[in-house]
Structures are given as structure tokens and as C-alpha cells.
Amino acid sequence: MITLNINGEPHPFASPLSIEQLLARLELADRRVAVEKNGAIVPKSQHGQVLAQDGDALEIVVAVGGG
Amino acid sequence: MDSLFIAGKAYSSRLLVGTGKYKDFDQTRLAIETSGAEIVTVAIRRTNIGQDPSQPSLLDAVPPSKYTYLPNTAGCYTAEDAIRTLRLARELLDGHDLVKLEVLGDPQSLYPNVVETLQAAEVLVKEGFKVMVYTSDDPIVARRLEDIGCVAVMPLASLIGSGMGILNPWNLEIILARLTVPVIVDAGVGTASDAAIAMELGCDAVLMNTAIAGAKNPLLMASAMKKAVQAGREAFLAGRMAKKVYQASPSSPTSGIIGS
């Protein structure tokens, strides 16, 4: 069991997984999002390779209405 | 053609609008279309984990293929948070590097924290961002932001969302006289005459959100703002007549009056 801190909330997962797998699990695969892991951007081109591991802090953001 | 140039790109509209505070995405889309704006600000926020993936998104209502997105750092109170937010925005928008930097001082006034803003601007410009920066109407800070390499400086007219209009035209005039990059009034416009005054002063453009979204009829106000910005710009280019204090001047011939 691992815990990922996603957007400030703890989420349990069975084992480490790639960012691509994580987005699919969160039903965000088809959404336009950007991902930051432990303060550093994870480029889209690396979503398949970069692993989210126990204790990682992830930010997943979208564009919303704003002024 | 009287184009607005920002970071080397020409725009025909001098009205920039926000995409927040509308009733729904339909109203957002229609208001922006009516305003004629080409550049629209958007916010970057955490996605709701577990939300329905088929929910409509802003990107459908206001497609980035049709508008120039200006991701902002609204809600950031430190240079660090603002820099992180814009790095995420650049990743989100496939390398798009035109951004709106704003670092706020406190949640009551939403007044810009110029110390943090200057720090963030330095870093972002070095990282290749084209930074349009929200700031106070302090001419010294405005000039410093231009010197750092910001592509547009955007002083407030009054507090964000206040609709108080242009409280200090004198400071705006000092800023306009000293800067060469576009000066865009950002925040505080309440109604059409405020936008016209900003443009008559010589501002290059006006950025607003609440003035349109917060009107009783947002679409009608979007139309009014489009005209006000155009009217103000034309009046500025036309060059107003000199003010003659306490001295009237008749518009009709002074001779040939009957009975004389």
C-alpha cells in the first residue's frame, strides 16, 4: 500500500504507478491537465515513464474561468 | 490599422477580458464574443478528483484555438506560488508563454504585493515567459517591471472587482509618459465611461472581468465596453481640444445676428 498526496489530499494506491496510469485511474486521461510532482513539472511526454511513489506530492491542475 | 502590439504580436481589439464569474459557460462564451476581445484571462486551479469526466470545461466554451489565453496567477500571495502556477500553465497550454503575473498582498484589498511581483517577474522573464504584469499605479515600480523585461505593464485603476473606476488618472499619466511597453489598465473599471477614460488617457488597452460579468445584463455591458474602448482610443488619437478654464467660446457665428 502506498499513499500519494494529490492536490493536498491523501489517496491510497496498491503500488507505485506511472503518471499516465494515475491519470487514467482518476478518470482524467481525456482531460487537459498539467502535473507537478514534488514541486517539479512532469512534461506530458514523460507521463508514461515517471512513477508516482509512496509519499509523493502531486498537483494536477486545469484551466478555469478567472480574471 | 491601429493594432495593439504585445510581445511582437498584433491584436485588433484593445479590450482584454476575464472568463470568471459568469452564470455558466454559455454566458461566458457569448459575453466574450460580444466584447470582441482576442485575449482572455484564465485561472489555473486544482482539478476536482472524482468529478464527472464528461462535465463541460472552459476550454470547450472558450477554445484556445480561437482566443489567445492569458493564464493568470490570481490567488497567489508569494513569488514562489506564482512561478509554480505559471510553469504549470505553460505545461497545460503546450508551451504557451504569454502569461499574466499577479501576486497579491492580502485577501481583503487584493492589492498587489510589488516586492513579490518584482521577484517573480525576474525569474519568469529569465525562464522565457512573456510576462504581462498586474501592479499598483506606482510609476517607479511600473518602470522597474519594464526594465526587467515584462512585455506589458498593467496598473490597477482601483481595487480588483470594486468597480470604483479610475481613481488616480495622474499616476497613470506619469506611467504612460515613462514606459514604452503597452500600459493596460487592469482592475477597477466599473462601467463604460471608466474604460473610455482609460483609453483617452492614452492607455494601450483595458482588461476587465467583473465590470462585464457583474452587470445585470452582461452581454449588453460587453457590447458597451467594446464601444467605449474604441471610442476612447479614437478620442485619444484624435487629440482633444484644449481646455479653456472659465472661458466660453461660441460655436456659432458671432456676426449677422438679427436685430444687431
Q: Using one digit for the tens of pLDDT, what is the confidence trace for B41-69?
A: 999 999 988 777 677 889 889 999 999 99
- Give the contacts of B10 (CB within 8 A, at least 6 positions apart): B1, B3, B4
- Could you tell me how many CB contacts below 8 A there are between chain A and chain B? 102
Going by pLDDT thresholds of 50, 70 and 90, the confidence category of residue A30 is confident
Residues 36-65 of B with CB under 8 A from A: 41-47, 49-50, 53, 57-59
Interface predicted TM-score of the whole assembly (ipTM), two decimals? 0.95
Diameter of chain A measured on Cα atoms: 41
Residue of A nearest to B51 (CA): A27
Give the pLDDT confidence score for residue B157 in this predicted structure: 95
Percent of chain A with pLDDT over 90: 94
Mean per-residue pLDDT, B224-231: 98
DSSP secondary structure, B119-180, as one string: HHHHHHHHTT-EEEEEE-S-HHHHHHHHHHT-SEEEE-SSSTT-----S-HHHHHHHHHH--
For residues A16-29, average pLDDT: 95
Q: How many domains does chain A have?
A: 1
Residue A24 within any structural domain of the chain: yes
Catalytic residue among B9, B66, B100, B227: B100
B21 touches chain A (CB under 8 A): yes
Query: Which band of pLDDT confidence, cut at 50, 70 and 90, is reported for residue A67?
Result: confident
- Look up the CATH number of the domain holding residue A39: 3.10.20.30
- Identify the pLDDT of residue A59: 97
Average pLDDT of the residues in B165-191: 96
Q: Sorting pLDDT into bands at 50, 70 and 90, what band is B229?
A: very high
Query: Does A6 map to a domain?
Result: yes
Report yes or no on A13 lying in a domain.
yes
The contacts of residue B239 (CB under 8 Å, 6+ apart) are none
Between B25-35 and B218-238, two packed helices, what is the crossing angle to 10 degrees? Answer: 20
Nearest by CB to B47, from A33, A66, A67: name it: A33
Q: Between residues 98 and 157 of chain B, which touch chain A (CB distance below 8 Å)? A: none
Cell 483617452 -> residue: B200
Strands B39-46 and B68-71: parallel
Question: Which amino acid would we find at residue B152?
Answer: A
Residues of B in contact with A66 (CB under 8 A): 18-20, 41-43, 72, 74, 209
What is the pTM assigned to this prediction? 0.93
How confident is the model at residue B56, as a pLDDT?
A: 82
Is pLDDT at A38 greater than 80 in this prediction?
Answer: yes
Task: Quote the pLDDT of residue B146.
Answer: 98
Structural domain that includes position A49: 2-62
Q: For residue B100, which phi and psi values (nearest 5 degrees)?
A: -110, 115
Q: Kindly list the residues from chain B whose CB atom is less than 8 angstroms away from the CB atom of residue A39.
A: 84
pLDDT for the residue B205: 98
Least reliable range by pLDDT among B47-56, B57-66, B137-146, B166-175: B47-56
Confidence class for position B22, pLDDT limits 50, 70, 90: very high
Q: For residues B58 and B145, give the distance between their C-alpha atoms in angstroms, rounded to a whole number.
A: 31
The pLDDT, as a whole number, for residue B98 is: 98
Contact assessment for residue A41 and residue A34, using Cβ atoms and an 8 Å cutoff: yes
Residue B55 CB neighbours (<10 A): 9
pLDDT category of residue B118 using cuts at 50, 70 and 90: very high
Q: Is residue A25 part of a domain?
A: yes
Q: If you average pLDDT over residues B178-198, what whole number do you get?
A: 97
- Where does the pLDDT of residue B204 fall: very low under 50, low under 70, confident under 90, or very high at 90 and above? very high
Percentage above 70 pLDDT, chain B: 100
B residues 193-232 lying closer than 8 A (beta carbon) to A: 208-210
Decide if B92 and A11 are in contact by the 8 Å CB cutoff: no
Q: What is the mean pLDDT of residues B76-92?
A: 97
pLDDT at B260 over 80: no
- The proportion of chain B whose per-residue pLDDT surpasses 90, expressed as a percent, equals 90
In angstroms, the CA B192 to CA B223 distance is 9
Contacts of B45 (CB under 8 A, 6+ apart): A61, A62, A64
CB contact under 8 A, B44 and A61: yes
Contact criterion met (CB < 8 Å) for A64 and B160: no
The verdict on residue A27 lying in a domain is yes
Nearest-10 crossing angle of helices B218-238, B192-201: 20
- Give chain B's mean pLDDT: 95
Residues constituting chain B: 260
User: Is residue A67 a part of any domain in this protein?
Assistant: no
Strands of B98-101's sheet in order across: B98-101, B130-135, B152-155
* B209: nearest CB among A8, A61, A67: A67
Average pLDDT over every residue of B102-107: 96
The H or E element that residue A57 is part of is: strand A57-65
